[in-house]
Amino acid sequence: MKTMKWLIKREMWENKGMLLWTPVVIACIIATLVFISLFFGKMSGFQFDGHNVASVTIEGAMRARIAETMAQAYIGAGMPVLMILGLLVFFYCLGALHDERRDRSMLFWKSLPVSDLSTVLSKLLLAVVVAPLITMGVAVALGLVTLLAACFVLLAHGANLFGAVLSTPDLYLTPLRLLGLLPVYILWALPTVGWLLMVSSMARSKVFLWAVGTPVIGSLLLVWAEKALSFGIDAVWITSHITTRILLGVVPGSWLAFSKDVVAIDHEVNKMPLPDAIFNASWATLGSSTVWIGAAAGVAMIAVAVWMRRRREEA
């Protein structure tokens, strides 16, 4: 356990600029834009139920509904940070095993009493656990800053919602819901992470072309074979269930494409709040065999990456 902790720390030290400072810088840019908009008075036109909050008295039921909506939706301000997580994990995994062969640092790490399995697992844990936790923390912080700015705007219009927002349970449940989606993210990201680590352990150059070009060109050939040669294969199904899983599994929320009807039913028909509907639909996807087959394939590809690293002792 101690060895794994230091391996993860080593990976974090080597990739701090990508995995830590990139989401922090993006969050700072968004927060700066929010404060600039606030300073120039561009956020004075808040609408709620078709009414401008500056032109109505916020009391009673409307006050409670506005506070509840703000407490549920403030994490939306951090969505750009969460979306960049997919790119960060994608490019980290793409170079995780290739870069150490390119700069010959693998020779040094091979000289240490650390197994190839532990090294690859440390890279896996950084990609699917540590990086998402960092990004979630930055996104929540950005959301809270934006929520604070919105409360100050409303205060300038005579509506003090600080107490109402702070007493709303959703203010504290929203980060917990986000954290509760981490196991779902890990399972859906495994095929992509496994594929990228396997390609990174095999390719001697042009890693991006191998990782992206192989499934894309393969899908195009299958579509051509279906149309021109009447192979009788469902190329569209293969593209949406295999190619998409291989390339886009690290994008947060990608699993909602398989459960968008559940979200719509819970939110529009059952009148469930949107955050709860998304949370329930996300966990509901684990009842499908698709996610488990993909996760098993991801584990198999990670095993291949370990096997390849064990044999990549280049002089």
Q: Which of 205, 235, 204 is nearest to 314 (CA)?
A: 204
Give the CA count within 13 Å in the CB-facing half-sphere of 280: 14
Phi, psi of 159 (to 5 degrees): -115, 105
Side chain identity, residue 258: F
Determine the pLDDT at residue 314: 47
Report long-range pairs for 150-156 (Cβ below 8 Å, ≥24 apart).
150/43, 150/46, 150/70, 150/74, 151/70, 152/38, 153/38, 153/43, 153/44, 153/46, 154/46, 154/53, 154/58, 154/66, 156/44
Determine the pLDDT at residue 81: 92
Determine the pLDDT at residue 48: 52
pLDDT 10s digit of each residue in the chain, 315 long? 678 888 888 889 888 889 999 999 999 999 998 888 776 665 555 555 555 555 445 565 667 777 777 888 888 888 889 989 999 999 999 988 888 777 676 666 666 677 888 889 999 999 999 999 999 999 999 999 988 888 887 777 677 778 888 888 888 888 999 999 999 999 999 999 999 999 998 888 889 999 999 888 888 888 777 777 666 677 677 777 788 889 989 999 888 876 665 565 555 556 677 777 888 888 888 888 889 999 999 999 999 999 988 776 544
Predicted model pTM: 0.87
